[in-house]
Amino acid sequence: MLSKYKYHIWLHLIVLIFGLTGVLGKLISIESYLLVWYRLIIALAAILIYFAITKFSLKITKKQLASTLLVGVIIAAHWLTFFEAIKQSNVSVALVCFSSSTLFTSLIEPFYFKRKVKAYELIFGVIIIIGLYFIFSFEFKYLIGMILSVISAVLASWFTVLNGMLVKETNAKLISFYELLGAFIVVSVYVLLFTGLDFSRLAVPIKDLKWLLILGILCTAFAFIVSVEIMKKISPYTVTISVNLEPIYSIILALLIWPESETMSYGFYMGTIIVIATLFLNALFKKIATKEPKVLP
């Protein structure tokens, strides 16, 4: 039984790990830019060790290298805004607002793939905006965090669409590695400029080290490697449905750890239900539109 569903179990485990990212963003006390910088250092080191063990070649053409490094710039901006959004609001607000990436993907993807925007995508986009309006109305004190989270969602949608084009001509593992390298270069320049070469400002409290290691190794390197393998075995529809559970997992984890600060208003949960329900309906409509063969749930 476990063997039959092992890839589905792994998929939900990876989504849970992705959900843990937001919680770690709140647990780690250092500034967002340092958090992202150390995450990239740890993740790149772990991936290089994995590549060395598996003797995976890092060979890539100059054109592919330039493309992936540039996408890495977008990823850097995405992570910086995402973690700052958590620090300016909380895990629940940031993750729900970030879920709006589905809306932005439906608007960005047609531009790159030369197709018309589908009617149901526009309708669901409007519904998501209504859900976000509920959240904004009842949790206005978190306005800065919400804006940053929505910006992060736009950036995430953008690099996801670009990856959909890159993966047609480049190995997925190479794409991920060089994108993380590009993100590291950008964040490193930012760190050096912001700290003014004062290396004492790069110090990390002991209590943050374990969370940074978990973020870099488990939530980045491990999750990236396993997710690439899982997507070879499971249908896109199942993956999409499962990934939509990420904000739910994050909110549950945050409520268990910080019941006082993460418990939100009635309006917030109404907006959350609207947004998450729309994400699942969007995945269902995409399955119907593509007439995808039936797969294991």
Is residue 232 scored above 80 in pLDDT? Answer: no
Q: Are 287 and 127 in contact (CB under 8 A)?
A: no
pLDDT band with cut points at 50, 70 and 90 for residue 295? very low
Q: What is the dihedral of CA 47, 74, 232, 227, to 10 degrees?
A: 50
CA distance 278 to 177: 32
What is the widest separation between alpha-carbon atoms in the chain? Answer: 57
8/23: higher pLDDT = 23
Average pLDDT over residues 265-272: 86
What are the structural domain ranges in the chain?
A: 9-285
Is residue 199 scored above 60 in pLDDT? Answer: yes
Question: According to the model, what pLDDT value does residue 3 have?
Answer: 62
Residues 124-175 have pLDDT tens digits of 888 888 888 888 887 788 899 999 999 999 998 898 888 888 888 888 888 8
Question: According to the model, what pLDDT value does residue 7 have?
Answer: 81
Average pLDDT over residues 229-252: 76
Residues 22-43 have pLDDT tens digits of 999 999 999 999 999 999 999 9
pLDDT band with cut points at 50, 70 and 90 for residue 237? low
184/228: higher pLDDT = 184
Structure token pair of residue 170: 């480049």
Question: According to the model, what pLDDT value does residue 137 have?
Answer: 80
Residues 104-118 have pLDDT tens digits of 887 888 888 788 877
Mean pLDDT of the chain: 86
Q: What percent of the chain has pLDDT over 90?
A: 39
Q: Are 296 and 8 in contact (CB under 8 A)?
A: yes
Which of 75, 4, 63 lies closest to 39, judged by CA?
75
- Which 8-state DSSP code applies to residue 168? T
Is residue 294 scored above 50 in pLDDT? Answer: no
Least confident window among 14-28, 76-90, 115-129: 115-129
